[in-house]
């Protein structure tokens, strides 16, 4: 029996806001106690014992909004001691730019300069906190950077203001000598009617317009791409291709719903498999972060079951990805899809008038009707994958 037990070198991380999620929703109150320093401390022990590598946080997951600096320092010192005891790390930090009413019409994209200034200052303090805790990645999720009323805001202004703020914060990090990379997280809607830069693809294009694009990448989330009706693994592949996958938010989501943040792999197991396969095939070095939370039905024990479930599912799917690579029948089908054509491959390497002539000579002799009539065997291939995933292969 293969061992799927999570271990620190699997690099699994959870947000304080994920295991600490009290289960409040728009229709009902919290079903679990709100996190306290005591419960956070206890949870660091639980997660370390379960095999996690680290925890991530928003500034206000740890330090209450508006806390005086002495209180902030006391809380951070205690949290650092708890980190040391548990052996957990903080690889990522981020800013809460969505809870306080001041951010009700966005933070970086607000038309009100006072709101943007407050947001920038809050981010600079958040970045200091992240760096103090050892974070290497700083995430920006613009949850309220959007609109319901298009009459109120030209979206070009919103995007330009967002750019100005990210450029400002990049310059802040350079000035301080911080070795931090930014990861922008897209979401199509919720809590706003529509959110600017709604997909990972949109973020990747936006990054190229920044003053220092090298410092900025993306943080795709499974649920968010699915909410936009997209295939998450394709968005992640584009980020990998661009060298911009700086972080990832793993979770589960049913199609056509609000952002459910379900346990990783609990929905769309085939989608989860191809995402894990992609990350593993790419030998991606980043953290496997779970931005999800336990069902509202769960108590503390259920939250632990949720966390262990996310990690075990990842490890099981990683094992399945290895089985996929070793499966002779699957590999045979894949090989048949790409018949060896070295002369054509060579001719297509780069355009020159000579290569175009060689390509043209072969192209006009091809039997395109026969190629078009060829069955590709995808029914069999996909069924083999399904049987692998269902555990009968
Ligand atoms: C959401 C987002 C957030 C962010 C978090 C860290 O839909 O609520 O996914 O959970 O990931 O704010 O940036
Ligand atoms: Mn997220
Ligand atoms: Mn989300």
Find, among 129, 259, 118, the residue nearest to 186 by Cα. 259
Burial of 112 (0-12, 13-18, 19+ CB in 10 A): exposed
Per-residue model confidence as pLDDT tens digits over 317-335: 999 999 999 999 999 999 9
User: Average pLDDT for residues 244-260, to the nearest whole number?
Assistant: 97
* Number of the ligand closest to the Cα of 140: 1
User: Average pLDDT for residues 38-66, to the nearest whole number?
Assistant: 98
**Dihedral, CA of residue 185, residue 262, residue 17 and residue 138, to nearest 10:** -20
pLDDT at residue 365, rounded to an integer: 93
pTM of the model: 0.97
Distance 3 CA to ligand 3 centre (A): 30
249-250/146-147 β-pairing: unpaired
Distance CA 75, CA 96 (A): 17
Residues in the chain: 393
Domain boundaries, the chain: 8-326, 328-389
Per-residue model confidence as pLDDT tens digits over 63-118: 999 999 999 999 999 999 999 999 999 999 999 999 999 999 999 999 999 999 99
Confidence of residue 42 (pLDDT cuts 50, 70, 90): very high
Q: In 3-state terms, the chain is what percent helix, strand and coil (to 5)?
A: 50, 10, 35
Confidence of residue 377 (pLDDT cuts 50, 70, 90): very high
Distance 55 CA to ligand 1 centre (A): 14
- Helix (H), strand (E) at residue 146: strand 146-147
pLDDT at residue 2, rounded to an integer: 86
The residues, ordered by sequence, that sit 6+ positions from 193 with a Cβ below 8 Å of its Cβ are: 146, 147, 148
Distance CA 73, CA 68 (A): 9
Distance CA 185, CA 139 (A): 7
Nearest Cα residue to atom 8 of ligand 1: 143
Residue 137: DSSP 8-state: E
The residues, ordered by sequence, that sit 6+ positions from 331 with a Cβ below 8 Å of its Cβ are: 325
| Exposure string for 25-60, b = 16+ CB within 10 A, e = fewer | eeeeeebbeebeeebbbebbebbbebbbbbbbbbbb
Mean pLDDT rounded to a whole number for the chain? 97
Q: Which of 15, 291, 293 to mutate to test the pocket of ligand 1 (most atoms within 8 A of CB)?
A: 291
Distance 141 CA to ligand 1 centre (A): 6
Please, are residues 290 and 251 in contact by the beta-carbon 8 Å criterion?
yes
Give the number of other CB atoms < 10 A from CB of residue 236: 23
Nearest Cα residue to atom 3 of ligand 1: 141
| Exposure string for 244-283, b = 16+ CB within 10 A, e = fewer | bbbbbbbbbbeeeeebbbbbbbbbbbebbbbbbbbbbeee
Q: Considering only the top CATH level, what class is 8-326?
A: alpha beta
Per-residue model confidence as pLDDT tens digits over 53-63: 999 999 999 99
The minimum-distance atom of ligand 1 relative to the CA of 18 is: 10
* Number of the ligand closest to the Cα of 191: 1
Please, are residues 201 and 245 in contact by the beta-carbon 8 Å criterion?
no
Distance 225 CA to ligand 2 centre (A): 11
Nearest Cα residue to atom 5 of ligand 1: 141
Confidence of residue 1 (pLDDT cuts 50, 70, 90): low
Give the number of other CB atoms < 10 A from CB of residue 370: 8
Q: Which of 137, 185, 252 to mutate to test the pocket of ligand 1 (most atoms within 8 A of CB)?
A: 185
Distance CA 97, CA 99 (A): 6
Find, among 10, 13, 8, 47, the residue nearest to 317 by Cα. 10
pLDDT at residue 317, rounded to an integer: 98
Distance CA 55, CA 47 (A): 9
Q: ∠ CA 165-171-174 to the nearest 5 degrees? A: 145
Distances (CA, A) of 243 to 180, 189, 218, 239, 318: 16, 26, 10, 6, 22
Catalytic residue numbers?
58, 61
Q: Would residue 143 be called left, alpha or beta, if left means φ above 0 and alpha means ψ between -120 and 50 degrees?
A: alpha
Distance 325 CA to ligand 1 centre (A): 33
Nearest Cα residue to atom 12 of ligand 1: 141
The minimum-distance atom of ligand 1 relative to the CA of 94 is: 13
* Number of the ligand closest to the Cα of 224: 3
The minimum-distance atom of ligand 1 relative to the CA of 139 is: 13
User: Average pLDDT for residues 362-371, to the nearest whole number?
Assistant: 95
Please, what is the angle between helix 269-281 and helix 232-241, to 10°? 10
- Ligand 1 pocket residues where CB is under 6 Å: 94, 139, 141, 143, 185, 187, 221, 249, 259, 291
**% of residues, the chain, pLDDT over 90:** 99
């Amino acid at each position: 029996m293969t061992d799927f037990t999570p271990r620190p070198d699997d690099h699994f991380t959870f947000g304080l806001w994920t295991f600490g999620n009290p289960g409040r929703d728009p229709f009902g109150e919290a079903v679990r106690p709100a996190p306290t320093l005591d419960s956070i401390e206890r949870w660091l022990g639980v997660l370390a014992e379960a095999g996690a590598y680290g925890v991530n946080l928003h500034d206000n997951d740890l330090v209450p909004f508006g806390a005086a600096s002495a209180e902030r320092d006391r809380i951070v010192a205690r949290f650092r001691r708890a980190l040391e005891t548990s052996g957990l790390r903080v690889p990522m930090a981020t800013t809460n730019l969505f809870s306080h009413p001041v951010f009700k019409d966005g933070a970086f994209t607000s038309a009100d300069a006072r709101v943007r200034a407050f947001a920038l200052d809050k981010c600079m303090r958040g970045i200091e906190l992240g760096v103090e805790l050892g974070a290497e990645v700083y995430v920006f999720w613009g949850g309220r950077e959007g609109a319901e009323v298009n009459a109120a805001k030209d979206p070009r202004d919103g995007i330009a203001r967002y750019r100005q703020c990210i450029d400002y914060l990049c310059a802040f990090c350079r000035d301080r000598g911080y070795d931090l990379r930014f990861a922008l997280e897209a979401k199509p809607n919720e809590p706003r009617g529509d959110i600017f830069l709604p997909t990972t693809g949109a973020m990747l294009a936006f990054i190229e317009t920044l003053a220092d694009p090298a410092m900025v990448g993306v943080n795709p989330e499974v649920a968010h791409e699915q909410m936009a009706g997209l295939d998450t693994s394709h968005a992640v592949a584009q980020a990998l291709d661009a060298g911009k996958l700086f972080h990832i938010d793993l979770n589960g989501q049913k199609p056509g719903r609000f952002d459910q943040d379900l346990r990783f792999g609990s929905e769309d197991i085939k989608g989860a498999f191809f995402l894990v396969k992609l990350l593993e095939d790419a030998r991606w070095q980043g953290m496997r972060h779970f931005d999800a939370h336990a069902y509202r039905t769960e108590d503390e024990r259920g939250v632990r079951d949720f966390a262990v479930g996310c990690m075990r599912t990842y490890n099981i799917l990683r094992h399945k990805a290895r089985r996929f690579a070793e499966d002779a029948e699957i590999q045979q089908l894949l090989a048949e899809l790409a018949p060896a054509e070295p002369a054509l491959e060579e001719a297509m390497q780069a355009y020159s008038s000579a290569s175009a002539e060689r390509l043209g000579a072969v192209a006009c002799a091809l039997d395109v009707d026969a190629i078009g009539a060829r069955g590709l065997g995808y029914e069999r291939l996909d069924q083999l994958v399904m049987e692998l995933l269902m555990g009968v292969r």
